[in-house]
Structure 1
Amino acid sequence: MDLSQLRMFKKVADSGSIARAAEQLYCVPSNITMRIKKLEEELDELLFIRQGRGLVLSPSGVIFLKYTNRILSLCDEAKRALSSNSVPSGKLSIGAIESSGTGRLPKLLSTYHQSYPAVQLEFSTDTWKNLEDKVVKHEIDGAIIAVKSTHPSVCYEKIYEEELVVIASSTYDDIESAESLIDKNIYMWPEGCPYRKALENWLLANGVSVPITSIASYGTILGCVSSGAGISLVPKGIFDQFKLIGGIKAFSFDELKPIDNYFIWHKETGCHSAKDAFLELITGSEIKNTEA
């Protein structure tokens, strides 16, 4: 077993295809097939199961992937610790909930790339729970979520507050209270979203009961609202990003308190100058106070 085998195994596990893994690793598929077969022989376990035209992890493969992520993460840490180059470099994998990825991060990612061109930045969006799981499993180096993590393996730092606004079509009457949402269609992210929970708590506190339609996309939610199909509650950064398009207006309420956003990373990350530089940038006053 060697690191190249583990990297091949991880690529196939992540992509679900030997062909796609070969493209990403710039090698021929037959080489990966042979190395994975030798790895399975050494472990005396089947790591993949063929499903249609792709591959999925076997139960043993799922277990082995967890150890592979830890091993590769530790190797990357060792390289960083031994490097005499103090300038951030290497790979940095960052995840974020969609509200941050859409509202605040585009400008930040551009600034980071210009400041640290030697860093190979990888960015993705997901739900806060999936992002936390990926950090715990060493699949990503850090993530931005809107929930304070209580996982024992996770470190966190508050990076900013997201103000909340109720949005409606510009053709709607003004939203004056929670009661204004009665008989309106409400569009929100699915259960588990902290912004949805804030809306539900506000409605409950005011004795308002309305059905909520789940949509896992701010683009779709904004499209529904601007067309006059219903109402939503979103981070102000999302509204600021899309208000110039027209067709929507926002309303603020004192009862809807800002929600803290956090940057999280694994406690065992160790020396990681690229991650530290990212955290320093996102906690800077310029970023925190910048409207999207």
Structure 2
Amino acid sequence: MELTQIRMFKTVYDTGSIARAAEVLHCVPSNITARIKALEAELGIALFYRQGRGLKISPAGEIFLTYAARMLTLADEAKRAVHPDAAPSGPLRIGAIESSATARLPRLLAKYHARYPDVSLELITGTGMQLLDATQNNKLDGAIVAIDVKRPQLRRTSMYREDLVLIAPESLGPVHSAADLQGKSIFMWPEGCPYRAALERWLLQSGQTQPIISIANYGTIVGCVSAGAGVALVPKGVFEQYRKGAGWVGYEFAELTSVDNLFYWHEHSEHHPARDAFVAMLRAEFEPALTPLE
């Protein structure tokens, strides 16, 4: 089993075809086909099967994919470890929940690219659980989520605390308590969102049982509120991003407690100059500095 075979297998999976993988790897398709067949022979399993004009990974291939990603990550880490003083370079895959990607990271990403132009930074958005799963399976080098949980093989550190703001159209009139939301449409991210959970706790404590309309996009949520269709609870960063000309009012309540956003990374990828430089810039951007958790 060779790293070249494993990289070819992973690239075929990522691109969906041998022809596209050959373009990415700058080799001929027949070479990839032969190498993957040799790998399948060594493993004694089929990694792919044909589906129409493309390839679909087999169930056994899905299992092997997790190990392949880990082996390639370890190989890349080994290369970086040989040159510990080298400037950050190469790929860096960072995941972030949408509120962080939209409202907190743009300025930092621009600074990072200017400072480390040799790093190929890729930002992937998703739900907190999706990003943690991807980090745990070595598909991401780190992730920013608003969930504080212990996960096997993952380490985490506090990044910043996100205050929460209830936004409501001006036509609704003042909102003094949760009772003022009775009968109003509420737009929030789907179940599992920590900001939604904070709102649900507030409503429950106030004796309210309001239905919530699930929308997995802050632009759409803000658009609904701006159109006067209802209210929403958003992180303060999102509020500040969209507030200009939005036509709505923001309210903060002591009962709606702040939510910590954390950075997670895999414990087996301790030495990663590009990621370490990214975290260092996070420390400088958000005060107080990050503090490690157990």
Normalised by the length of structure 2, the TM-score is 0.92
The within-5 A match list for 1:47-66 is 47-66=47-66
Aligned residues: 288
Partner residue of 1:232?
Answer: 232
Instruction: Decide whether the 8 Å contact of 2:190 with 2:196 is kept in 1.
Output: yes
Partner residue of 2:291?
Answer: none
Distance apart, 1:103 and its partner CA? 0.7
CA distance in 2, matches of 1:28, 1:168: 58
CA distance in 2, matches of 1:166, 1:57: 45
Instruction: Mark the CA change 1:221 to 1:27 in structure 2 (over 3 Å): closer, same or farther.
Output: farther
Instruction: Mark the CA change 1:65 to 1:114 in structure 2 (over 3 Å): closer, same or farther.
Output: same
Which 4+ stretches in 1 moved above 4 angstroms? none
The within-5 A match list for 1:83-162 is 83=83, 85-162=85-162
Partner residue of 1:250?
Answer: 250
Could you tell me which amino acid in structure 1 is paired with residue 127 of structure 2? T
Instruction: Decide whether the 8 Å contact of 2:162 with 2:259 is kept in 1.
Output: yes
Partner residue of 1:182?
Answer: 182
CA distance in 2, matches of 1:68, 1:243: 45
Partner residue of 2:76?
Answer: 76
1:273 aligns with 2:276: no
CA distance in 2, matches of 1:15, 1:245: 42
Instruction: Decide whether the 8 Å contact of 1:195 with 1:233 is kept in 2.
Output: yes
Aligned partner of residue 225 in structure 1, secondary structure: helix
Normalised by the length of structure 1, the TM-score is 0.93
Distance apart, 1:137 and its partner CA? 0.7
Where does structure 2 lack aligned partners over 5 or more consecutive residues? Answer: 289-294
CA distance in 2, matches of 1:174, 1:26: 62
Distance apart, 1:267 and its partner CA? 0.8
CA distance in 2, matches of 1:143, 1:91: 15
Identity of aligned residues (%): 54
Instruction: Decide whether the 8 Å contact of 2:159 with 2:286 is kept in 1.
Output: no
Instruction: Decide whether the 8 Å contact of 2:98 with 2:125 is kept in 1.
Output: yes
Aligned partner of residue 123 in structure 1, secondary structure: strand
CA distance in 2, matches of 1:31, 1:234: 51
Distance apart, 1:63 and its partner CA? 1.0
Partner residue of 2:199?
Answer: 199
